[in-house]
Structure 1
Amino acid sequence: MANPLRGSVPLQVGDRAFTLSFSINALCELESELDQPVASIIKTIQTPEALRLSTVRSLVWAGLQDHHAGISLVEVGLMISEAGLQPTIAKVGEAFRLAFPQAEAARGKANPRRAKG
C-alpha cells in the first residue's frame, strides 16, 4: 500500500494498484539503467521536451522495484499504456519529489512568495 509519508504513491493500472517509491536502492537501479547520475536524471525530468519515453519507462520500472521486484521493462511499458502516459508521469513526479523532501523544503524557504499563508 502506498504511503506518502514514506515516499510512496499509488499507481492505478486498470483494476490493479501498484506502489511507486524512489528509495536509495531504487535510485541506484535507475542510475544503472540510464547510465546517468541522479542529478542528470532530475534535469531531464524537469525538461519535458527532452524527456524520452524510454526514460519514463525506466523511471516507472525503478520506482516499482521496492514493492514489485522482478517486473520487466516490457511489462512496465504495457502498464504505462494502460494507465495513460500523462497520469503515469504525474505519479512518477510525485514519488520523485517525495524522495527528496529536504530539497522541496529548501526550495520553499528560498522563495518566500511560495510560503504565503
Structure 2
Amino acid sequence: MTLKNYVDLAPKSGGEGWKLAFTTNAMCAYEDETGKDFTSVAGALAGAGEGRISMRVMRTILWAGLLEYQEGTTMRDAGEVLDACGMTQVGGAIAAAIRLAFPEAKDSSGNGGKAGKAAPGKVEEPTGKS
C-alpha cells in the first residue's frame, strides 16, 4: 500500500487542480531558492495566520511544494496557482502538506522538540569534499 504524500489543490473556479507535496527535494529547492532553512516556513505560516506574510515568501513556499508533481513549475506558475486558489486555500494546503511530510509531529506549533527520535551518534554537516 502506497501512502498519499500530497494534498490536492483545486482552483476556485473548478477544473483541473494541482498536487502539493513537501518531499526532501521540494524542501531543498526552497532552501536553495531562499538561502533559509525549511524550518523557517513554520514562522512564515504563523505570520500568515495573523494576516502577515510576504507574498514572495508564500509564492516561494507554494512553488517548492508544486515541483514534485508538476515538474518545471516556475515562480510565475506558482503565482498563478495562488491567484486561482486564493490565500486561504493555499495556506491550508501548505499546512496539510507539511503535516504529511512530518507525520510524527503532533501539530504545526511544535511539540517541544520531540517530533521524532534521531538515531544515536554524531551527525556532521557535509563539507562538499569527497
Sort the TM-score into its range (normalised by shorter chain).
0.7 to 0.9
Q: Write 1 or 2 for the structure with the bigger share of helix.
A: 1
Unaligned runs of 5+ in 1: 111-117
Report the TM-score, using the length of structure 2 for normalisation.
0.71
CA offsets 1:25-70 (integer angstroms, 9 cap, x no match): 1100011112101222222222324421111111111111111011
Report the TM-score, using the length of structure 1 for normalisation.
0.78
* Secondary structure at the counterpart of residue 90 of structure 1: helix
Unaligned runs of 5+ in 2: 115-130
Partners of 2:89 and 2:29 lie apart in 1 by: 23
Partners of 1:81 and 1:24 lie apart in 2 by: 26
CA offsets 1:11-35 (integer angstroms, 9 cap, x no match): 1124112100000011000111121
Counterpart of 1:27 in structure 2: which amino acid? M
How many residues were matched structurally? 105
| Equivalent residue, structure 2, for 1:114 | none
Partners of 2:46 and 2:102 lie apart in 1 by: 14
| Equivalent residue, structure 2, for 1:102 | 104
CA offsets 1:76-110 (integer angstroms, 9 cap, x no match): 11121111111111111110111111122784xx8
Q: How does 1:21-100 map to 2 (within 5 A)?
A: 21-48=21-48, 49=50, 50-100=52-102
Larger Rg: 2
Segments of 4+ in structure 1 off by > 6 A?
Answer: none
